[in-house]
Structure 1
Amino acid sequence: MPLEHIDPPTLMKPMGYTHVVAATGARTLYVAGQGAFDAQWQLVGPGDLEAQARQAYGNLLLALEGAGAGPEHIAKSTMYVVGLEQAKLPAVMRGIAAALGGRDARPPASTMVGVERLAMDGMLIEIEAIAVVDA
């Protein structure tokens, strides 16, 4: 496995992320921010954060698949959420879980950032990632 997940016992128990991920693989993938668009550039789930999180994370998984990787290879992810507040966290997490479809993968080191808006009108979330695979 090209990643080592580390959660020091001296830190609080993480919920949905890992405190430290050490990359031991040889090939690093940088995945551009993925929004909730289908292959025809139609926004999926206008006004629905959970639906957009599911589509955006699904797009991230498709991008990784195209490079020969999967969710288990994600070392770091950053999620940008319009108008982020604590009450929106469950919708994001449900959307990601739905996109994973029961696949078992340790959560990566992750940061969620609240933003005023994203590049395209109607976008509520954008997710980027760094993944590591063996050469």
Structure 2
Amino acid sequence: MITYQDAPLPKFGNYSTLGIGKPGEIVVLSGQLGADADGNFPTSDGVEQVKATFDNLGVALAAAGLGFEHVIGFRTYLVGREMVPDFMKGRMEKFPEIYPSGVYPPNTLLIIGGLVEEAARVEIEALAVRPAAS
């Protein structure tokens, strides 16, 4: 991912203002929730749901032969403004593992009234770019 140093700096968390994918196929990941493989939410804790959601994104990326380094943007949906601190904490706990360089993709954050499952507190979708064949 290429980022521009002269782009506006993020004001509300750890993310890049923009990202530009290198040539290759675009891969769109639908919104992932913090549920396990059986569709159960092992916890109602917001921080843990955020971390589980990133884990599920990792599984989806791996299925496409990609990793988090291929992600050029996230769109995050949180149920209620009270989820923002849990999201920030969960992301700060997870990002050093998935982005050891400290360079994060852009993220758009939306506050919504609910998700497809009542127990879901967060949903994150991603846009990634598959590297061009050499």
TM range (shorter): 0.7 to 0.9
More strand by proportion, 1 or 2? Answer: 1
The equivalent residue for 2:69 is 72
SS in 2 for 1:18: coil
Q: CA deviation at 1:121?
A: 1.2
TM-score by length of 2: 0.85
Aligned counterpart for 2:116 among listed residues 114, 119, 125: 119
CA RMSD in angstroms comes to 1.8
Cα gap change, 1:134/1:33 in structure 2, threshold over 3 Å: closer, same or farther? same
What does residue range 33-52 of structure 1 map to in structure 2 within 5 Å?
33-46=31-44, 48-52=45-49
Aligned-partner Cα distance in 1 for 2:2–2:96:
23
5+ long unaligned stretches in structure 1: none
Q: 2:104 aligns with which of 102, 107, 113?
A: 107
Secondary structure (helix, strand or coil) at the match of 2:129 reads strand
Match of 2:23 in 1: 25
Deviations 1:17-48 (A, max 9, x none): 101111113111100100011011111312x1
Q: Runs of 5+ in structure 2 lacking a partner?
A: none
Q: Retained in 2: the 8 A contact 1:78–1:128?
A: yes
Contact 1:19 1:109 in 2 (8 A): yes
Give the secondary structure class of the aligned counterpart of 2:3: strand
Aligned length: 129
The percentage of counterpart residues that share the same residue type is 26
Report the TM-score when normalising by structure 1.
0.85
Q: Per the alignment, in what secondary structure is the counterpart of residue 131 of structure 1? A: strand
